[in-house]
A and B are shown apart, each in its own frame.
Chain A
Amino acid sequence: MQILLQLIASGISVGMIYGVIAFGYQLTFATSKTLNFGQGEALTLGALVGLTTINFLIGQAIATPWAYLLMLPIVLAFGLLQGAVVELLGVRQAIKTNSEAGWIMATIALGIIFRNLAENIWGRDALRFPSPLPEQALSFGGIRIQPMEIAIVVGALLLMLLVELFNRKSIYGKAVVATANDRDAAGLMGINTRIVITFSYALSSMSAAFAGVLVAPITLTGATMGAVLGLKAFAVAIIGGLSSGAGVVVGGLILGIAETLTGYYIESGYKDVPGLVLLLLVLSLKPSGLFGKPTIKKV
């Protein structure tokens, strides 16, 4: 029982990371029915930019926790910018010409370019990311949890909550929801839906970059760190449903916990299998995702 709870606790923080990245997939899908297949690389770049920034700040004799907090807005701003670039270079033209394959190829290609860029700037080796919180695990009735794991859960929920609040309360957020509902009708309201789509790409990459600096202190940072995370989060987005906000959190947790359980009870080499099996099951049994509403096409 103790071990099981321990495994679940460990699975939760990984799952929340998947959830945040998957949340990013949802953001662009909602407004444009397209996805950024370079989400993993957005995470990588965010983590690496964060690493350089935090090391610089620590070099200025700023204590690590403060340096981490100061680094966050810079990484978030970088993520916004990076996502906007992806939309402008890779997606906009494909949407304009209604090209189905265009945005897939373009976002994958940009992802590869970003990965190469990261390799050339930061090298191929995994780098240690300074942890803003003590690395000593806390014990909750024998279950050991790292403070950073708690920070991941809190940070991930906070990000999604803030985006949701923006969508519900501000007129610009409502414009985003309107665009997701019906792009043409949103245009008739005087909403520049092209900018809304650019913005959703920016927000999507920002979420990934944030996930990058959340996870970096408990893993390692490097040019390839995002590739697998991006892919698994894609599975989470499909499992949870591309249109269900809460679905990605639950989907992320399911996958995160399934992985730690498999890794312990079966064989750590099979750790990646449950997610993919789940993905295949969902795709064949409930293609709109476990929590997604089936899309009704109105004529």
Chain B
Amino acid sequence: MLKVENLVAGYGKVQVLHGLSINVEDGQLVTLIGSNGAGKTTTLRALSGMIAPESGSITLGGKEISGLASHRITRLGLAHSPEGRRVFSTLSVEDNLLLGAFPRVTGARPKGDVQADRNRMFDLFPRLSERRTQLAGTLSGGEQQMLAMARALMLQPQVLLLDEPSMGLSPRLVEEVFSIIRRLKDAKVTMLLVEQFAAAALDVADFGYVLENGRLSTSGPAAELKNDPAVRAAYLGTAH
């Protein structure tokens, strides 16, 4: 579904990613783990067009998307819940969700039933339901994170990119977020999950990649990675 080959990207003259290849199959939950500053966020930014890759190929459902503007990539069905949540703080929870479906409402993607999907989001994230008319800027960090995820899901995406949905959340909320990710996986939502909580991410994922200084050091089925001594030493020692 999403295929990345030899991705090179960075910021201006600073090259951060030095040739990554990642594959996300239809219906799979793939995780990209790595320590702070490894280039996980940069990878997702390059995939969704927030930064233009220097070279390499990115295909979504067989279509080359590398170098396209982010709004075009979104319209092709790639949703990105970015690092830091980035919700629209002066708009209501409902409006944030509606904007997640912008390409559907404006005819760039099949419309379906936007209203019903919004209600489905309120079922999936009951905390948002209580706050539907509240401005997003007044939500707690955890609620904003859920809004960011729900907003991305409103696209009815072919692939969903999640950048550290657990960042800055209390342990109880982290648990809640991961249980939602599990439910999305059961619903066959194709996902690429970036996490620092490597253990939790490998628990839910089908397949994992380990990123180190802009290069992939290891990859494999999540269950195998969890038992890989090198991965355990570097990423699973402290977490959980």
Which residues from chain A sit less than 8 Å from chain B, CB to CB? 171-172, 174-175, 177-178, 180-182, 184-194, 298
Q: Which residues of A contact B102 (CB under 8 A)?
A: 171, 175, 189-191
Q: Which residues of B contact A192 (CB under 8 A)?
A: 69, 71
Please state if B91 and A178 are interface contacts (CB–CB under 8 Å): yes
Q: Which residues of A contact B99 (CB under 8 A)?
A: 171, 174-175, 178, 186, 189, 191
Q: How far is the CB of B19 from chain A (nearest CB, A)?
A: 25
Please state if B75 and A190 are interface contacts (CB–CB under 8 Å): yes
Please state if A187 and B49 are interface contacts (CB–CB under 8 Å): yes
10 additional A-B pairs beyond A174-B95, A187-B74, beta carbons within 8 Å, are: A174-B99, A177-B90, A181-B89, A181-B91, A182-B88, A187-B69, A190-B103, A190-B155, A193-B71, A298-B84
Count residues on chain B whose CB falls below 8 Å from chain A CBs. Answer: 31
Q: How far is the CB of B13 from chain A (nearest CB, A)?
A: 15
Q: How far is the CB of B146 from chain A (nearest CB, A)?
A: 16
Q: How far is the CB of A25 from chain B (nearest CB, A)?
A: 19
Number of A-B contacts (CB under 8 A): 74
Please state if B91 and A190 are interface contacts (CB–CB under 8 Å): no
* A182 in contact with B86 given A190-B74, A192-B69, A193-B71 (CB within 8 Å): yes
Which listed residue (A171, A172, A181, A187) contacts B70, Cβ 8 A?
A187
Closest to B161 in A: A188
Q: Which residues of A contact B69 (CB under 8 A)?
A: 187, 192, 194
CA distance A194 to B87 in the complex (A): 20
* A181 in contact with B90 given A187-B74, A190-B155 (CB within 8 Å): yes
10 contacts between A and B (CB under 8 A): A175-B99, A177-B88, A181-B91, A184-B50, A185-B87, A189-B100, A190-B103, A190-B109, A192-B71, A193-B71
Q: Which 6 pairs across A and B sit closest by C-beta, in order of nearness?
A: A190-B74, A190-B103, A185-B86, A187-B70, A181-B88, A189-B102
CA distance A184 to B83 in the complex (A): 12
Q: How far is the CB of A95 from chain B (nearest CB, A)?
A: 14
Q: Which residues of B contact A298 (CB under 8 A)?
A: 84
Which listed residue (A177, A186, A188, A194) contacts B80, Cβ 8 A?
A188
